[in-house]
Structure 1
Amino acid sequence: MDQRSILLVTLVIILVRRHKWKGNKQNRETPLPLATWRRISYHQLRVATDGFSESSLIGAGNFGSVYKGTLSDAITVAVKVFNLHIDGAFRSFDSECEVMQSIRHRNLVKIISSCSNEDFKALILEFMPNGSLEKWLYSRTSTLNILQRLDIMIDVASALEYLHHGLQTPVIHCDLKPENVLLDGDMVAHVSDFGIAKLLGEGETMKQTMTMATIGYMAPEYGTSGIVSTEGDVYSSGILLMEMLTRNKPTDEMFTSEMSLKDFLKESLFHSVTKVIDATILQEGEVHYTAKINCISSVIELALDCSAESPSGRTNMVDVVAELKKIKTRYLKDARTR
Structure 2
Amino acid sequence: MKEHFAKEIIIHCQINHKNVVRLLGYCSEENALMMITEYISGGSLREVLGCKDYPISLDQRLGIALDCGKTLSNMHSSMCPPTIHGDFKPGNILLDDNFGAKLYDFGISRMFSKDSTQYTVNVIGSIGYLDPLFAKTGCIDPKSDVYSFGVVLVELVTRKKAYENGSMGLIETFFQAVRKGTKAREMFDADIAQSSNIKVLDKIVNLAAECLRMEMSKRPRMEDVAERLRMLIKARCQKGQEKTAGHWTLWGKQDNTTQSERISSSNSTVFFNLNSLGIFSRNAHTNFKRNGGPVVQNVKGLYIFTKSELRKITNNNSEFLLVGSFGKVCKGTLPENTAVAVMSSVKVTEALKEQFIEQIEIQTHMMHVNILNLIGCCLEVDVPMLV
**TM band (smaller chain):** 0.5 to 0.7
* Alignment match, 1:324: 229
Of the structure 1 ranges 102-111 and 195-204, higher mean CA displacement relative to structure 2 is found in: 195-204
Following superposition, the deviation at residue 233 of structure 1 comes to 0.5
Alpha-carbon deviation of 1:264?
4.0
- Counting only pairs closer than 5 Å after superposition, residues 281-300 of structure 1 correspond to structure 2 as 281-283=192-194, 289-290=195-196, 292-300=197-205
Instruction: Give the distance between the partners of 1:254 and 1:110, measured in 2 at CA.
Output: 33
Structure 2 equivalent of residue 311 of structure 1: 216
Matched, 1:217 2:129: yes
Unpaired segments ≥5 residues, structure 2: 244-387
Change (3 A) 1:101 1:195: same
Distance 1:335 1:106 in 2: 27
1:334 aligns with 2:239: yes
In structure 2, C-alpha distance between the alignment counterparts of 1:215 and 1:168, rounded to whole Å: 29
Matched, 1:278 2:183: no
Change (3 A) 1:209 1:125: farther
Write the deviation string for residues 271-290 of structure 1: whole angstroms up to 9, x where unpaired: 3343110112124xxxxx23
Letter in 1 for 2:100: V
In structure 1, the residue corresponding to 2:40 is in which secondary structure?
Answer: coil
Counterpart for residue 277 of structure 2 = none
Letter in 2 for 1:121: L
Tell me, in whole angstroms, the C-alpha distance in 2 between the residues paired with 1:215 and 1:111. Answer: 27
Aligned-pair CA distance for 1:171: 0.5
- The structure 1 residue matched to 2:151, chosen from 239, 243, 253, is 239
1:135 paired to 2:47? yes
The residue type equivalent to 2:201 in the other structure is I
RMSD: 2.2
User: How much does 1:330 deviate?
Assistant: 1.8
Q: Distance in 1 between matches of 2:170 and 2:110?
A: 32
Contact 1:255 1:261 (C-alpha < 8 Å) held by counterparts:
no
Of stretches 205-214 and 180-189 in structure 1, the one that deviates more from structure 2 is: 205-214
Contact 1:221–1:228 under 8 Å retained in 2: no
Residue 81 of structure 2 aligns to a residue whose secondary structure is: coil
Give the secondary-structure state (helix, strand or coil) at the position aligned to 1:272. helix
Change over 3 Å in CA distance of 1:257–1:131 after alignment to 2: closer
TM-score (norm 2): 0.59
Per the alignment, residue 11 of structure 1 pairs with none
What does residue 68 of structure 2 align with?
Answer: 156
Q: Which amino acid aligns with 1:186?
A: N
Q: Call closer, same or farther: CA 1:253–1:331 in 2, change over 3 Å.
A: farther
Shift of 1:137: 0.5
Helix, strand or coil at the partner of 1:302? helix
Segment of structure 1 superposing worse, 328-337 or 229-238: 328-337
Give the TM-score normalised by the residue count of structure 1.
0.67
Match in the other structure for 1:190: 102
Size of the aligned set, in residue pairs, is: 243
Given the superposition, is the C-alpha separation of residues 254 and 275 from structure 1 closer, same or farther in structure 2, using an over 3 Å criterion? Answer: farther
Deviates more, 1:200-209 or 1:294-303: 200-209
1:1-338 correspondence runs (5 A): 89-201=1-113, 203-252=115-164, 260-267=172-179, 270-283=181-194, 289-290=195-196, 292-337=197-242
Q: CA deviation at 1:306?
A: 1.1
CA distance in 1, matches of 2:47, 2:233: 24
